Amino acid sequence: MPLFVIVCIIAAVFTVFIGYRIAVSPQKLFTVGMLALFGGLLFESIRVSENPKMIIPIFIGAYVFSLLIFVPGKNDYPYNLEGHLKVWPYSFMAFYAIGFVIFNQEKVTQKLTEGITLLLSVSLIYWLIDLGIGRFRTTFGYLLMGIVFVFSAFSIFSALGKMKLTKTNRLILSIWSSVIILVFTVDNLIGVFDADKTVSPHLSERLYLSLQYFFLGISAIYILQNYFMIAMLLPSKNSNYKEDLREAVSEHINRYSDRQVLVGHSLFCIVYTAVIYGLNYKFEILPRHTMIWLVIFSFPILIGLYEAISSKFK
């Protein structure tokens, strides 16, 4: 307890110093996009935890650990405080997201269904089309498109047909879902940070970019969780890989529902995504990465509203 008090006092004093240096620094260290990113992360963590008080210890712990970024490294001479200040907010958000995922494992782990995998597969097909099929006219590109076609067809057939959701099928669909989310993660990061480099100072464009950062913050928790789900399948040093692999496979199977979705919901998913993505492809309403995450988050809400309304009229 005394050590905890000492650490808190040091952190508080250092916080005052950081605030002072940010105020007098000629460089713009904090941006609206950065605040929107953390806003999305905080919003989703509060929504998932269902109790704001539960995230306070994680917030404090992440903040204290993030201050380690100011410790000078071996090649950090002369010491550049402004450089550390630029990295510090992202360090804090990374510690916060990792801490939240670790301490809220069950709540963060998405319960996947055929419908979610179908939604992700159709979104991946749109991603490839919008990115440009011509970019994949190489041996590796054809191999990549072949993999996408096979697993996407498998997920579509699973959602529209009566294929039994065996443990093997659930494992394949769970891993495929995690891979797609990681692909969208990389594209989202590249798209948002590239846009931040070229966006004009006009308020409308800054708000538009902030919306993209907000969605990135919301998705950060699930991005980390799916990364952990994939990483569990890979061997690591000084570990019993057979045992680790058995546990990872069990995690993937258990998080995937063995209940088949309604065919009507699957058809609605295909129509909804085809219309939204088709309009976005033609009129470029939103960047590809933003529209994909918007559809991924909005479709389950629409299904939930439909079921809630239909249940009242039964």
Q: Are residues 145 and 96 in the same domain?
A: no
Pick from 107, 139, 168: which residue ends a domain? 107
* Cα-Cα end-to-end distance for the chain: 58
Alpha-helix runs per DSSP H in the chain: 2-24, 32-49, 56-66, 81-103, 105-108, 114-131, 139-160, 167-198, 203-231, 241-254, 263-283, 288-312
Q: Are residues 139 and 261 in the same domain?
A: yes
Range of the domain at 54: 2-107
Q: Are residues 56 and 152 in the same domain?
A: no
Q: Could you say which DSSP state residue 261 is in?
A: P
Angle between helices 2-24 and 81-103 (to 10 degrees): 130
- Of 82, 36, 292, which is closest to residue 188 (Cα–Cα)? 292
pTM: 0.85
Q: Are residues 73 and 135 in the same domain?
A: no
Token pair of 256 as six digits: 């995937």
Q: Are residues 37 and 157 in the same domain?
A: no
Q: Are residues 96 and 119 in the same domain?
A: no
Pick from 76, 91, 107: which residue ends a domain? 107
Q: Are residues 217 and 244 in the same domain?
A: yes
Q: Are residues 292 and 218 in the same domain?
A: yes
Angle between helices 167-198 and 288-312 (to 10 degrees): 130
Q: Are residues 88 and 180 in the same domain?
A: no
Torsion of CA 70, 76, 77, 81, to 10 degrees: -30
Q: Are residues 153 and 66 in the same domain?
A: no
CB neighbour list of residue 227: distance below 8 Å, 6 or more residues apart? 182, 185
What b/e readout covers 212-241, taking b as 16+ CB neighbours within 10 angstroms? bbbbbbbbbbbbbbbebbeebeeeeeeeee
246-267, pLDDT tens digit by residue?
A: 999 999 999 999 999 999 999 9
Angle between helices 32-49 and 203-231 (to 10 degrees): 50
Considering its fold, how many domains does the chain have in total? 2
Do residues 291 and 285 lie in contact, with contact meaning Cβ atoms separated by under 8 Å?
A: yes
Q: How many CB atoms lie within 10 A of CB 42?
A: 18
pLDDT attached to residue 200: 66
Pick from 61, 77, 107: which residue ends a domain? 107
38-55, pLDDT tens digit by residue?
A: 999 999 999 888 778 889
190-244, pLDDT tens digit by residue?
A: 888 787 776 666 767 778 888 888 888 988 888 888 888 999 898 887 778 889 9
Q: Are residues 119 and 250 in the same domain?
A: yes
Q: Are residues 146 and 52 in the same domain?
A: no
